[in-house]
Chain A
Amino acid sequence: MGKNISGDATNQNDVVNEVHIGPLEARREALAVCGMIFCVILLMTLRFSMISGSSTRDTLKSYQRFDGSVLKSQDPILYRNLLSAVGDITDLRLIEGDWPTVDDLISEDVPPFANAFLPMGLKNYTWTRYASKGWVDYYGVGETNAETEKISDHIPISLILRVIDLKVKDHPHPHIGIDNDPKLKHSIQVWMYPEKRPYPEENVVQKGWKWVISANDPFLNENKEISEKPVKN
Chain B
Amino acid sequence: MKKTKLLSLITFLCFSLAAGPTLAEQCKLNVGITLHPYYSWVSNIVGDTATVTTLIPENSDPHSYQPKADDLANLQKIDALVVNGQGHDEYVRSMLKAVDRKDLKVIDTSVGLPLIPTFGHNYNFEKGDDAASKVSYNSHTYIAITGAIQQIQLIANQLGELCPENAILYKKNARAYAKRLRRILLAALNKIESYDTVELRIATVHDGYAYLMQELGLEIAAVIQPRHGIEPNPRQLQDTIKRIKKAKVNILFTEIDYEKRYVNIIFQETGCRIYSLSHISNGIYSADKFEVDIQRNIDDIIKALQDANAKS
A44 within 8 Å of B (CB atoms): no
CB distance from B124 to the nearest CB of A (A): 10
A216 touches B113 (CB 8 A): yes
Chain A residues with CB under 8 Å of chain B are: 52-53, 55-57, 60, 65-69, 74, 76-77, 79-81, 83-84, 86-88, 91, 94, 108-109, 111, 116-122, 150, 188, 214-218, 221
Knowing A117-B186, A215-B115, A215-B135, the reply to whether A69 touches B123 (Cβ < 8 A) is: yes
Chain B residues with CB under 8 Å of chain A are: 85-86, 110-117, 122-123, 125, 128-130, 132-135, 137, 146-147, 149-150, 153, 156-157, 171-172, 174-175, 178-179, 182-183, 185-186, 189-190, 192-193, 198, 214-217
Known: A66-B132, A119-B217, A218-B112. 14 other contacts (CB 8 A): A56-B133, A57-B128, A79-B114, A84-B153, A87-B149, A87-B174, A108-B179, A111-B146, A117-B186, A117-B189, A214-B115, A216-B114, A216-B115, A221-B111
A119 touches B175 (CB 8 A): no
CB distance from B272 to the nearest CB of A (A): 24
8 Å CB contact of A215 from B133, B179, B186, B214: B133
CB distance from A75 to the nearest CB of B (A): 11
B133 touches A119 (CB 8 A): no
B130 touches A56 (CB 8 A): yes
B150 touches A215 (CB 8 A): no
Q: Which residues of A contact B110 (CB under 8 A)?
A: 216
B132 touches A81 (CB 8 A): no
CB distance from A216 to the nearest CB of B (A): 5
A39 to B298 alpha-carbon distance, docked (Å):
59
A216 touches B112 (CB 8 A): yes
A57 touches B217 (CB 8 A): no
B129 touches A83 (CB 8 A): no
A60 touches B129 (CB 8 A): yes
> How many residue pairs, one in A and one in B, have C-beta atoms under 8 Å apart?
120
Majority DSSP secondary structure for residues of A touching B: helix
Ordered by A's residue number, 27 sampled pairs between the chains whose C-beta atoms are within 8 Å are A65-B129, A66-B129, A66-B132, A67-B114, A68-B117, A68-B125, A69-B129, A69-B132, A77-B217, A79-B114, A80-B114, A80-B215, A83-B113, A84-B146, A84-B153, A86-B153, A87-B156, A87-B174, A88-B178, A91-B172, A117-B185, A119-B215, A215-B132, A215-B137, A216-B86, A216-B113, A218-B112
A86 to B112 alpha-carbon distance, docked (Å):
12
Knowing A52-B134, A80-B147, A119-B192, the reply to whether A74 touches B217 (Cβ < 8 A) is: yes
B178 touches A87 (CB 8 A): yes
A57 and chain B: residue at smallest CB distance = B130
A187 to B38 alpha-carbon distance, docked (Å):
26
Q: Which residues of B contact A69 (CB under 8 A)?
A: 123, 125, 129, 132
A71 and chain B: residue at smallest CB distance = B114
A60 to B130 alpha-carbon distance, docked (Å):
9
B112 touches A68 (CB 8 A): no
B217 touches A88 (CB 8 A): no
A80 to B156 alpha-carbon distance, docked (Å):
18
CB distance from A88 to the nearest CB of B (A): 6
A84 touches B132 (CB 8 A): no
8 Å CB contact of A56 from B129, B175, B189, B190: B129
Q: Which residues of B contact A55 (CB under 8 A)?
A: 130, 133
8 Å CB contact of A116 from B112, B125, B179, B186: B186
A212 and chain B: residue at smallest CB distance = B114
Knowing A56-B129, A65-B129, A216-B137, the reply to whether A84 touches B149 (Cβ < 8 A) is: yes
A144 to B192 alpha-carbon distance, docked (Å):
21
